[in-house]
Structure 1
Amino acid sequence: MDICFYGHAGSDNHGCEAIVRSTYDVLNEEYRLTLFTINKAADNKYQIDLLAKDIVQYHRYFKKNAPSYLLNRFLKNVFNYDNFYYHYANHNLLNNIKRDSIYFSIGGDNYCYGNYHKNLAYINKKLSKVTKTVLWGASIEESIINKPHVIEDLKRYSLITARETLTYEALLRAGINKNTHLIPDTAFMLPKVSLDLPEGFIEGKTIGINVSPLVQKLEKDNNMTYLNYKELVKFILKKTDYHIAFIPHVVIEGNNDLTPLTELYNEFKSSNRVVLLGDYNCLELKGFIARCRLFVGARTHATIAAYSSCVPTLVLGYSVKSKGIAKDLFGSYDQYVIPVQELQNQHQLTEAFEWLLDNEEKVREYLQIKIPEYTLPITKAKNLIDSLVSHK
């Protein structure tokens, strides 16, 4: 049986890579995978071609001033007509739909980015007429779910798995309950690869830190995210004897974690207690994160790598997914998630970190008990797919 993943941004976003790898593992490699990707070169670089029988570059972009580009501008500006763009962009995905396959929209929070949900609705409408579709590991803001055209689109899926209860409950309230299930993010089951630690990274005595350009763009006060991280690093170096590892989790051009992390590293490298990691695949990154004493992160799948390794974690969040995951783990996201939109002074991240530092053993012991229970539904997710296959 063939399965097809789409909505994949490319494996230079190592969260996307983690979803592909862990979903494939959960399905026990019994299905033949075709991966439709926005960045085939990145997927080959990180050896996703060893999992997928085929990787297809599917998202096309207009060449400026080409006839198709000019026609699209005319249709958009004069008639507010987007379907020509959606058809052109997704041609390689929709031109040869495999009737005997199941198509997974795996982007996780793709419905939360601008108007991208309209592109997903166009794809799903075409696919669902021919075969079965799955929205896999979704997190969606309730304000988006409640849009009438989004409700119409979501009801076309043969199966929806929500990865946290805030999304799951919002889906049910909107009447999207035909085959909707609460299944944690499969990346909680991602294995780790433990490479040699770089000089300055001391296992059990190093604080892992991740920050992203994405959260910086979503802050309300200019540069408040960076100032909070800067104060946090100062606190760790002054008040503890721990080292710090700056760990990137997305290295996409224009949205590269190494940009702010390198800036932080350069400010504090003279302390001889900070180390900047380079780019690694998601398995290797989890191997580094798992050996941190504590972790402070902005990228969701960097924090999932920490949670699932029972590393006490503080999240600088920006959407429903970070709140929902923390709520499901701890009963509340208070103390565990700071929404970036709520940063008002440069000390908030440090104050939250101090609480985590004071409670680290309690949090670590709790995670050691909670994670096996929390991840149990993931092991049963394959049954949902098997059921879809048996009813094709």
Structure 2
Amino acid sequence: MSRNKHIFIIGSCSPALGNWEHQLGNAAILIGLLTSIHKYLPDAIVTTKYQLSKGFSDTYRIQSLYVEPTKGFRAYRILITLYNLSLSIIWFFFWKILRLDIKFLRSTRLLNTYSNADIIIDLSGDTYGDNIPFKNFVKHSLELITARFLEKPIVSLANSPGPFSGKFKKFIARITFNNISLITTREPISADLLRSIGVKTPIVTTACPAFLLEPVQEYKLKEILQKEGIEEEYKPTVGFTLGGYNLYSKPTWDIPESLEDLQLYVPVLKFLLEELHAQVVLIPHVYRMDPYSGQMIQGPDYTILKSLSRIISKDVEYKNLKIIEGTYSPQEVKGLIGKMDLYITGRLHAGVAALSQCVPTVLLSYGHKHLGFAKLLNQEKYVWEPSMGPDGLLTIVKQIWENKEKVTEELHKRVPLIKKLAELNVKILKDILDLDKELRICLPNKLLDNWKSNIYKKVSGKVC
């Protein structure tokens, strides 16, 4: 009997406990991916360097492994990365030239985990590039190269890498990506970006696994709406989400130093409240983890949205302006977002929660991924760039509201196809794991052609 397939998930995101759970977008990606893996690879053993709570790990059948220190001196962690790389190069020499497997050369925690894996998934989202410090970018690049020296297939799965500023960073990215087996991007703009810097590794455009997340059951959702004072029958109801990266003067993943940029969003909220007479629901999409209890608590999104609420209500108290006070699971928040008649969001995966339920959505962009996701769904005209200013945002919101029936109809056509693309990520993994080991690193052209033409051709009419 063949042994269970081992899948190891790494990435350039922070591996700290809670990062993949309190950030609901990350959680939606991981839950969607794991659900799909266990559907198509039911016997697979999935491990990750990302630290997850026991409850999450048990629910979604994934095990966190401690393969490197997450604290301590920066130089020490870099030295460990270089040490692992050196050992893998020496092991590669003995294996390639002399066909000797010197096991003690791959006995560190990370190298042993790499060695036991049948395939390594790089799940970095949009962090591999300019969105992380340069030292983290280099460190993750070296970790991927290390896995390659151990003769392991590596798939960059459903990410939006880049941009890469400067020739040196482009050079590192090109070397790294050209030493892995396959890249799937979750939108087409990232695929074009990688090709533009000279990446030759095969690229297949799929879609984000977060599209596969199912919302909570209706009866539980009704309880949440009642608890939060949201009137379910109120029409229209508009959802609104912001994160620190939508305050463009000093963008941050956390709470910005200044909240002055919130003035950008005042005109559109006043339009919704005063002219559309909408029930506006401010919905946080990123929490924090209480270090003592391990429970989710409100995070930067709540602080930003609460400040926006105070600005809007400075002169007039709007009874139809609500903010979600509780913390909820990704499925619960997705169900809540699905009740909106219109959604405006700077958090991309809050937008995925809306779009995947065919809710007309305006994306507030801070990177190329927003436009890329919109292109998959033929929604490019409803992506707002900060250069457009508050008047541009107001124009887009008025336009999408006027065309909401057509937008909803288009989404009903596109979303089922996009979900098939999201599932394609794991079908690709299964096809690779079904190959003989020696074929998993340099994949057969026939397999590549099949992936590129099978589903994606149906979705867009072209091969990416």
TM-score after normalising by structure 2: 0.72
Report which stretch shifted further, 89-98 or 282-291.
89-98
Alpha-carbon distance, 1:308 to partner: 0.6
Distance 2:211 2:426 in 1: 15
Q: 1:381 aligns with which of 425, 443, 447?
A: 425
Matches for 1:152-167 after TM superposition, within 5 Å: 152-167=175-190
Distance 2:231 2:119 in 1: 43
8 Å CA contact retained: 1:315, 1:336: yes
- Residue in structure 2 matched with residue 251 of structure 1 by the alignment: 287
Per-residue CA deviations over 1:33-67 (Å, capped at 9, x if unaligned) read 11321x53xx446x24321341235563444xxxx
1:15 aligns with 2:34: no
One-letter identity of the residue aligned with 1:132: P
1:35 aligns with 2:48: yes
- Residue in structure 2 matched with residue 3 of structure 1 by the alignment: 7
1:281 aligns with 2:329: yes
Matches for 1:258-337 after TM superposition, within 5 Å: 258-268=302-312, 270-277=317-324, 278-330=326-378, 333=380, 335-337=381-383
Aligned residues: 369
Q: 1:140 aligns with which of 158, 161, 177?
A: 161
1:26 aligns with 2:26: no
One-letter identity of the residue aligned with 1:105: D
1:212 aligns with 2:233: no
| Cα separation, partners in 2 of 1:4 and 1:373, compared to 1, 3 Å | same
- Residue in structure 2 matched with residue 365 of structure 1 by the alignment: 409
Distance 2:410 2:354 in 1: 14
Q: 1:122 aligns with which of 131, 142, 160?
A: 142
The structure that has the greater radius of gyration is 2
Distance 1:215 1:95 in 2: 41
Q: Percent identity?
A: 22
Provide the secondary structure at the position in 1 that maps to 2:322: strand
Distance 2:82 2:58 in 1: 26
Distance 1:368 1:309 in 2: 8
State the superposition RMSD in angstroms.
2.9
One-letter identity of the residue aligned with 2:383: V
Per-residue CA deviations over 1:151-202 (Å, capped at 9, x if unaligned) read 0001122221011111112323444343321101111121111422131343
8 Å CA contact retained: 1:246, 1:276: yes
Report which stretch shifted further, 224-233 or 237-246.
224-233
Distance 1:312 1:56 in 2: 40
8 Å CA contact retained: 2:184, 2:205: yes
TM-score after normalising by structure 1: 0.84
Distance 1:89 1:237 in 2: 57
Distance 1:96 1:187 in 2: 27
| Cα separation, partners in 2 of 1:93 and 1:351, compared to 1, 3 Å | farther
Provide the secondary structure at the position in 2 that maps to 1:209: strand
Alpha-carbon distance, 1:384 to partner: 1.2
Provide the secondary structure at the position in 2 that maps to 1:161: strand
Q: Give ranges in structure 1 of 5+ residues lacking alignment.
A: 74-81
